[in-house]
Amino acid sequence: LIVQPINYKYDHNYVADAIAAHPDRLKGMLLYDPSLDEKDAIGKLQDLLLKGFVGVRFNPYLWPEGNQMSAPNSASLAVYKKCGELKMPVGIMCFKGLSLHYTDIIELLKASPDTVMILDHFGFTRMADDENDNEAFEQLLSLAQYPNVYVKISALFRIADPDLAEIESPRFEHLQHCRFEPLLAAFGCERLMMGTDFPFVLNESGGYAGAVSTVDSWCGKDEEVRGWIMGGTAEKVFGPWGLKK
């Protein structure tokens, strides 16, 4: 799954061309443009769906300051609901922390229970000795009550305590125990999916392969857990990859 790179903003041609060249390997997640009115936004959604885009990224920092993703009668709310009709998951990037967007997220969930919501990068509930981070993680766990909420186990280096990550062995062990295991207990393996944060992960120790092997190791000896987290959940919400014989 290729999430539309922020540096290309709303020009989806590069990703669309890549999907067209490798339709058996690649799917896309488009970036929603909050400046569009409802008609144009839904039109673009449907156009990109035909080009292999199977999900939508909501980046709340692209909205004008003070505007909400869930604002009543807004184009974004209409698009969110339309995604439920089209079976296109909406991924939300809470880069500055889940707590800033928790109420907004709840309103989206209430407005469209049929829309699958994916919270990227552990919901950006970073590991730190900070009361706000702990509160945010409790908020994330509380979202397990909504069956259409999924969490992406990705960008380990962004969420981990950087000091602990450098000295502990195996690396990210604290993240496993303090984030992954509680999420697994709350959401179940069928609502967690592995991700890498490519290409940024290439600049980190272990790179892409290291990120994959770390999450794989967290699954232990349970092949059902491994099957869901390492690919099954993604295929459940985005559809299967490759040619099925």
- Give DSSP secondary structure letters for 119-173: ESGGGG---SS-HHHHHHHHHHHHGGGSTTEEEEE--HHHHS-HHHHHHSSSTTH
Is the per-residue pLDDT at 245 higher than 50?
no
Q: Which of 56-60, 158-162, 216-220 has the lowest mean pLDDT?
A: 158-162
Question: What is the Cα–Cα distance from 151 to 130, expressed in whole angstroms?
Answer: 22
Q: What is the pLDDT of residues 141-191, one digit of tens each?
A: 999 999 999 999 999 999 998 888 778 788 899 999 999 999 999 999 999
Identity at 92, one-letter amino acid code: I
Query: Residue 244 — very low, low, confident or very high, per pLDDT cuts 50/70/90?
Result: very low
Average pLDDT for the chain: 94
Q: What is the pLDDT of residues 115-143, one digit of tens each?
A: 999 999 999 999 875 656 788 999 999 99
Task: List CB contacts of 7: < 8 A, sequence separation 6 or more.
Answer: none
Q: What is the pLDDT of residues 6-44, one digit of tens each?
A: 999 999 999 999 999 999 999 999 999 999 999 999 999
Is the per-residue pLDDT at 232 higher than 90?
yes
Is the per-residue pLDDT at 47 higher than 50?
yes
Beta bridge partners of 55: 29
Token pair of 149 as six digits? 């909420």
Token pair of 106 as six digits? 């709840």
